Amino acid sequence: MFKQAHWDEPVIFESGHGGRRGHLVPDVEEDVKKAVGDVMELLPEKLKRKKPPKLPQLSEVEVVRHFTRLSQMNYCVDLGLYPLGSCTMKYNPKINEILARSPSIAMIHPYQDEETVQGILEILYKLARWLAEITGTSEVSLQPAAGAHGEFLGTLIMRAHHKLNNELEDRSELIVPDAAHGTNPASGTMAGFKVVVVPSDENGCVDLEALKNAVSDRTAGLMLTNPNTLGIFERKIEEIAGIIHESGGLLYYDGANLNPILGKVRPGDMGFDIVHINIHKTFSTPHGGGGPGAGPIGVSKELTKFLPVPRIEFDGEKYHLDYERPHSIGKIRCFYGNISVLLKAFAYILSLGAEGLEEVAEISVLNANYLLHRLRDIRGLDVPYAKDGPRKHECVLSVEGLYKETGIRALDFSKRILDHGIHAPITYFPQIIKEAIMIEPTESFEKEELDRFVKTMKMIAEEAYSTPKKVLNAPQNTAIRRLDEAKASHPKTLTLSWKMYLKKK
């Protein structure tokens, strides 16, 4: 049985004793003075601290124990199944981490002369080429730091394109399906567009008639995920692309669900003009807890002139940075993007190769369909769209019926999953499904782990009917019991740092 460790661990600022230390900093004042002069005199007055910072005073072993205890109260993809739908929480191969930490990568500085960073420029240049090949686009920018950031850049490029055609004022509407991730309408709104929502049809795909009615000469573009957030492939994508392009709009691909089509079909070939890639999902760099991530975008040939600067160019001998792009939207992030994240993706693609990436897609689809087939007949778990499948990377269940019968909601169900040493799936997304539980197993988990998940889901569904209190009071076996999730994000109670905590107290 799963039982998570529990420690009454204070925050690090509340522990330690005066005078303890884990590290002796060498007294280099004289050396520094010799090299650059008196630093304190060079520093502008406003940047000087009046008092030393109040740092916790602990020995090295106390620090190690503190963080080890905290890690024992946590859950991670190295421990077991992490079926967060639409998040592609796959295993992160350790070789990638080792490479990203190597001093020759970690110690270089973005202000170094390009002559001295030829190696990393080559890696970034090649990664961008590979991503262009994988997505079927012409050129890729590695700058954005997340999928949502890529979306924002993509919609800015849409703006730039319509502006250059003197159409921006007229083309003010961005179409988004009702199954889309919330970042799609948010990015479009931030870029200044009015968002028009189109409904899904009875098969869980974009309703073509509704799309035709929504499209007009005000249309700037359509943002679409394919496979969509139900895990269903939009088979009529070429027709959709035709409708959008005929109206003069652009087609944007939300690449959060790229994993199951790797090497099989390319967004560029489906007709998409702008594509973002969630490196931290598809290309196995760690994510969760807010990052760091990377959300490169690829664009069709016509749109390359708008990509952010600097562009990394290769003249056959050397790599160099090109800032001379008059139509560029400018910069979206400092320097070249999140280098260490990009390097891990480079290592992942290099180690798998084209055939390996295709196998990733195949196994992830097999796993999702295996789960759908095993879960759909469990009493209390309904499949609202296309019950017989097929799915690509994920499947979405609904416990709306179970809720009406027993009072057990998707939230309670997912809390009970935690009691079995499995991370909870995504819940309440996509919003078109009531009491949704969205499951993406990825290719990283073996059949025994998937079977354990099915057994757990069946047991919880049975408990919902027989002993609902067990489910309502879950989790019991985790280090921390049920949390008030709203409290963590409410402006009044949100506390992001120790300083903020003290202030609020």
Ligand X SMILES: Cc1ncc(COP(=O)(O)O)c(C=O)c1O
Residues of this chain that interact with ligand X (CB under 6 A) are 86-87, 146-148, 181, 183, 225, 229, 254, 256, 278, 293, 295
**Comparison of 87 and 339: residue with beta carbon closer to ligand X:** 87
**Comparison of 181 and 420: residue with beta carbon closer to ligand X:** 181
Q: Minimum distance between the CB of residue 226 and ligand X, rounded to whole angstroms?
A: 10
Bond into 185 cis (ω within 30):
no
DSSP H stretches of helix in 196-332: 208-214, 237-246, 267-270, 279-282
Q: One-letter amino acid identity for 27?
A: D
Q: Minimum distance between the CB of residue 309 and ligand X, rounded to whole angstroms?
A: 23
DSSP H stretches of helix in 137-236: 147-164, 183-190, 208-214
User: Using an 8 Å Cβ cutoff, are 341 and 293 in contact?
Assistant: yes
Q: Minimum distance between the CB of residue 29 and ligand X, rounded to whole angstroms?
A: 44
CA gap 455, 453 in Å, rounded: 5
Beta strands 319-322 and 311-314 are antiparallel
**Comparison of 215 and 224: residue with beta carbon closer to ligand X:** 224
**Comparison of 173 and 394: residue with beta carbon closer to ligand X:** 394
Q: One-letter amino acid identity for 387?
A: K
- SS3 for 38-74, per residue? CHHHHCCHHHCCCCCCCCCCCCHHHHHHHHHHHHHCC
Q: Minimum distance between the CB of residue 430 and ligand X, rounded to whole angstroms?
A: 9
**Comparison of 258 and 464: residue with beta carbon closer to ligand X:** 258
CA gap 309, 312 in Å, rounded: 9
- Cβ contacts of 307-315, under 8 Å, gap ≥ 24: 307/139, 307/141, 307/157, 308/141, 308/143, 308/153, 308/332, 308/333, 310/336, 311/139, 311/141, 312/121, 312/124, 312/125, 312/128, 312/336, 314/122, 314/125
Q: Minimum distance between the CB of residue 145 and ligand X, rounded to whole angstroms?
A: 9
CA separation, residue 86 to residues 257, 289, 325, 490 (Å): 6, 16, 35, 25
Q: Minimum distance between the CB of residue 187 and ligand X, rounded to whole angstroms?
A: 9
**Comparison of 59 and 189: residue with beta carbon closer to ligand X:** 189
**Comparison of 177 and 380: residue with beta carbon closer to ligand X:** 177
Q: How big is the chain, counted in residues?
A: 505
Handedness of CA 287, 288, 291, 295 (dihedral sign): positive
Token pair 């009015």 is at which residue? 194
**Comparison of 200 and 456: residue with beta carbon closer to ligand X:** 200
Task: Select the residue whose beta carbon is closest to ligand X and give its number.
Answer: 147
**Comparison of 86 and 367: residue with beta carbon closer to ligand X:** 86
Q: Minimum distance between the CB of residue 190 and ligand X, rounded to whole angstroms?
A: 13
For residue 251, the cross-strand partners are: 222
Q: Minimum distance between the CB of residue 414 and ligand X, rounded to whole angstroms?
A: 16
Q: Minimum distance between the CB of residue 254 and ligand X, rounded to whole angstroms?
A: 5
CA gap 416, 302 in Å, rounded: 51
The encoded tokens of residue 249 equal 């709009």
